[in-house]
Amino acid sequence: MASPRLLRSCLLATLSATLVAAAAMTPAQAEHRPESAQAVTFSDTFDGPAGSGVDSAKWQLETGDNVDNHERQYYTSGTDNAKLDGQGHLVIEARRENPGNYQCWYGTCEYTSARLNTSGKFTATYGHVEARMKIPRGQGIWPAFWMLGQDIGEVGWPNSGEIDVMENVGFEPSTVHGTIHGPGYSGSGGIGAAYTLPGGEAFADDFHTFAVDWAPDSITWSVDGNAYQTRTPADLGGNAWVFDKPFFLIMNLAVGGYWPGDPDGSTAFPQQLVVDEVKVTTSDG
């Protein structure tokens, strides 16, 4: 990808409502991922002074708005909405403000936030991809950890493929979604499933680890080591499986949009997506 601006124009048609498909695992089928020898290929634990930016050798920040999903935020650069807290975390913050007088598809932007990716800096083809995060809560809030095919600039979306490791919409505080998008199964036709915490617990109350185990012709999603769905080419109804190639990582905190709906009077700001670690490992055999 040539630049964050090019990335924005190619990518911002992506985060959309997911379809909870019938092939999802039941709670009785969920099981812990087996431990195996691993080699770390990417890791960021966000160590650094409070107020400093992310490691530019690993991440770049995208800028702009998103008319395709009708999101309300403007993604900013620098440390205005994404910075380290000095305690080993990255804090992505959505605010109800617009000090830069940014313009969005609907007029003067009402919110700012941040979106980061590793395009041109790191890609993976297969492995265990995980992020340990504490997500926010509230109507209209939409945090996500996901991946796109590095060839999106050449083939476009959804032919590039998209792997949503974790998405949450604020009106579902106990539930996250994992989804794949590709040619013939994109947007609201994405193929995925949901994972819900037991006993009415909310994901915003603590850190949780969201992961996929990705191999040729297979992707398995897990939360805190509990696998809840596996997808293979057999799930695609004859459509192309586009997940056997390099993908890059993305983290963002959106505000509003078709799926979560807009914030309302019950939504508090600022909202924070707190990231403790992002790591990609690959089995040594």
Q: What span, in angstroms and rounded, lies between the C-alpha atoms of 241 and 183?
A: 8
Burial class, 97, CB count within 10 angstroms (exposed 0-12 / middle 13-18 / buried 19+): middle
Q: Please indicate whether residue 167 is annotated as part of the active site.
A: yes
Other CB atoms closer than 10 Å to residue 110's CB: what's the count? 19
Task: Report angle CA 127, 48, 126 to the nearest 5 degrees.
Answer: 5
DSSP for 169-190 reads -TT-TTEEEEEEEBTTB-GGG-
19 near 191, Cβ under 8 Å?
yes
219: three-class secondary structure by DSSP:
strand
Q: In angstroms, rounded to a whole number, what is the distance separating the alpha carbons of residues 70 and 261?
A: 9
First to last CA, the chain: 31
Point out the catalytic residue in the list 162, 172, 201, 277. Answer: 162
Catalytic residue among 97, 130, 167, 201: 167
- Residues belonging to the active site: 162, 167
